Chains A and B, each alone.
Chain A
Amino acid sequence: MATEQKEITDLVKRKYEHGFVTDIEQEFVPPGLDEDVIRLISQKKGEPEFMTEWRLKAYRHWLTMKEPDWAHVRFNPIDYQAISYYAAPKSQEDAPKSLDEVDPKLLETYDKLGIPLHERARLAGVAVDAVFDSVSVATTFKEKLAEAGVIFCSFSDAVKSHPELVRKYLGSVVPHRDNFYAALNSAVFSDGSFVYVPKGVRCPMELSTYFRINAANTGQFERTLIVADEGSHVSYLEGCTAPMRDENQLHAAVVELVALEGAEIKYSTVQNWYPGDEQGVGGIYNFVTKRGECRGANSKISWTQVETGSAITWKYPSCVLRGENSVGEFYSVAVANNYQQADTGTKMVHIGANTRSTIISKGISAGHGQNAYRGLVRVLPTARGARNYTQCDSLLLGDKCGAHTFPYIESRQRSARVEHEATTSKISEDQLFYCRQRGLSEEDAVNMIVNGFCREVFKELPMEFAVEAQNLMNVTLEGAVG
């Protein structure tokens, strides 16, 4: 028994795998935020006037707002003047024209992260847009996608090369005054990805973005906009990591999805930001606004997220179901281990007739982790025959963690049907003993049971990422039971 105790202690102390810092020359905008800083960011990025104005408008509105305090999370106040709002690898000054020109050290970083920028990417059939701190480093497969008419580029590029699309759709799903963090993002966002899939096109490959926060004292404020035109189809995956640092880092992203008539967008996230150490020191504050709008009839937006990282997660990927017969889905696995806090869920807003939504949420709490599901299902009077099904399961590992469920249901349409099911369970001694009696170690048994618990969500992930998610889960929970 003594050796087992030791092993478990060792495992608990296991280090965050992606916690390395890349030693690379970086260019910063000094910490602090005012209109000059915003103009400077806009200027550095060579943005047209309308973007600068848009940012300033958002900034001025942000000044009038307060941080939301309704989430089931606790943290020390953030000093927004101590954050640097722009950090770029220095060699970016003369932007690379191709992968060969990208700083090899940067590519090494991506290698360590297992992001296949070169050949491996092609083999996997994944097009990657990698965002390192604030700047999009390289976008692979541009040409192959261009053949299909798909635009997949960094947000900065899109602002220059497709200003009409950006202007039309930016802020149309998440307006700059939507919430505190969205307003801040609108003012200072540095980069992100832009996707446009034209009418009737099925995107020939999975699109993928990898985010990494490298520099100290920086925030990452990326902005992603995906527009699927009529009858098109696209699947998009983002992955996230950050080095280990004692101070907390802010990540306030905005993702907007627009699905026009008959279009389908599948958006998957594997989020593994640094969660802080076992004492709860450091880690990423992940305050993210993600929303998709099914603007046209028969359109569909599906969110799948696996959230294993971050000190604090505040995130509600949502669907506005405007078009008739449109479909919204939300599949989520959220883990809170050690001192992590997660307040996450979704909003499904039914506006169009016969709109349908499905919510499957799996929350896992371990250590001192606090995990809250917060979900809103709103049915407007126009949404005749709307249907929602919500299933919300919590799994507790140990006796110091917590699981909380906050479902909000607002229905103003008599013909609507809204179902909510919730369960809370613990891994039972009997389950563990059964697996161990069959020869599995306790760790393997826990992993197997947890993965079984998450299966409904994992099966929604694109194949190559389902395995990654499973491994990530195992690493995250190692030593969680003892």
Chain B
Amino acid sequence: MLTIENLHVSVEEREILKGLDLSVNAGEVHAIMGPNGSGKSTLAQVLAGKDNYNVTQGRVLYRGEDLLEMEPEERARRGVFLAFQYPTEIPGVNNAYLLKAALNARREADGEQPVDAFEFMRLIRSRMELMNISKEFLNRSVNEGFSGGEKKRNEILQMLVLEPSLAILDETDSGLDVDALKIVAAGVNSLRSADRAMVLVTHYERLLELIVPDHVHVLSDGRIVKSGDHELARELDARGYDWVQQEAASA
């Protein structure tokens, strides 16, 4: 599904990713963990196509095609979804409108007919229930005046409706209380399937108790320095990141 080879990325002359390799197959959930400033969010942003990030070396293949050559909207239409760490507010644009436009952009790319308002409502009702989102929520402006938890739940609702092939979740657990975390995890888990891959970028292990990953990677100073399974995440939670960084430095 996703192959990242020797990826080097700089922002304003400063190198953030320094030769990152990662391979994600369909059906797998990968967690990328690491201390602040290790480059986790940069990775998420680069995969989604944000500019201001200079890829100086390496390549990224998505289903065998050069992902970095595609415009952000093209990536989205082909099934790459980023759940933002800080979802942007768009005053005056209602939630339902954006979501429907996004869904229809995706459907058009797949050669499907656009959905009308009636079909759209039918389609999202059960997903809204799952995310514990009320109907009034749809008529509010995108993310405007949302609490942190509402923003994150909204991101996951969008993901559930758009049904991406590759979902990247950037610190979706940050700022959530336990209840909200459970709702978000239930949403994510409902989308796990054999033909879909997920990359969870996170700082804390607690999300991974609810969304159990197949692989866990530690990102440090722009490189993946250690990989393992769920046990690795638990060990990091217990011992912190220092030992991994030391291990990497001495290697």
Contact = CB atoms under 8 A, between A and B. Distances in A.
A470 to B, nearest CB: 12
A441 B109 CA distance: 12
A437 B72 contact: yes
A437 B82 contact: yes
B98 A435 contact: yes
Contacts of A453: 91-92
B178 interface: no
Contacts of A430: 88
Contact of A438 (B50, B52, B76, B92): B76
Contacts of A433: 48-51, 72, 88
Given A448-B97, A449-B93, A439 B106 contact: yes
B102 interface: yes
A22 interface: no
B76 A431 contact: no
Nearest to B89: A431
Given A4-B71, A433-B72, A452-B141, A438 B98 contact: yes
A206 interface: no
B123 interface: no
B92 A452 contact: yes
B90 A449 contact: yes
A429 B81 CA distance: 18
A119 to B, nearest CB: 27
A444 interface: yes
Q: Which residue, of A431, A438, A440, has the highest number of chain B Cβ atoms within 10 A?
A: A438
Contact of A452 (B81, B88, B90, B158): B90
- The dominant DSSP class at the A interface is helix
Interface in A428-467: 428-431, 433-442, 444, 448-449, 451-456
A440 B71 contact: no
B49 A438 contact: no
B165 to A, nearest CB: 13
A108 B4 CA distance: 60
A435 B101 CA distance: 9
Q: Which residue, of B77, B90, B106, has the highest number of chain A Cβ atoms within 10 A?
A: B90
Nearest to A456: B92
A134 B6 CA distance: 71
B73 interface: yes
A477 to B, nearest CB: 15
Given A4-B71, A439-B76, A442-B73, A434 B101 contact: no
A79 B189 CA distance: 73
A453 B92 CA distance: 6
B109 A437 contact: no
Interface residues of A, number: 24
Nearest to B77: A439
A436 B76 contact: yes
Contacts of A438: 76, 98-99, 101-102, 105, 158, 162
Interface in A407-441: 428-431, 433-441
Interface in B132-172: 141, 158, 162
Interface residues of B, number: 31
Q: Which residue, of B48, B52, B92, B102, has the highest number of chain A Cβ atoms within 10 A?
A: B92
B87 interface: yes
A409 B77 CA distance: 51
A437 B48 contact: yes
B88 A448 contact: no
Contacts of B51: 429, 433
Interface in B56-98: 71-73, 75-77, 81-82, 84, 87-88, 90-93, 97-98
A347 B46 CA distance: 50
Contacts of A439: 73, 76-77, 101-102, 105-106, 109, 162
Contacts of A441: 73, 105
A436 B72 contact: yes
Given A435-B98, A440-B102, A451 B90 contact: no
A250 B59 CA distance: 59
A57 to B, nearest CB: 48
B50 A448 contact: no
B90 A434 contact: yes
B71 A434 contact: no
Given A428-B88, A433-B50, A436-B73, A448 B109 contact: no
A448 B93 contact: yes
A454 B73 contact: no
A430 B89 CA distance: 9
B88 to A, nearest CB: 4
A449 B76 CA distance: 19
Interface string A272-292: 000000000000000000000
B156 to A, nearest CB: 14
B11 to A, nearest CB: 14
Interface of A: 4, 428-431, 433-442, 444, 448-449, 451-456
23 contacts: A4-B71, A430-B88, A433-B50, A434-B87, A434-B88, A434-B90, A435-B98, A436-B73, A437-B75, A437-B84, A438-B102, A439-B109, A440-B101, A441-B105, A444-B101, A444-B105, A448-B98, A449-B93, A451-B92, A452-B92, A452-B141, A453-B91, A454-B92
- The 3 closest A-B CB pairs, nearest first, are A452-B92, A439-B105, A452-B93
Given A439-B162, A451-B92, 15 more contacts: A429-B51, A429-B52, A435-B98, A436-B72, A437-B81, A438-B98, A438-B102, A439-B106, A440-B105, A441-B105, A448-B90, A448-B97, A448-B101, A451-B93, A453-B91
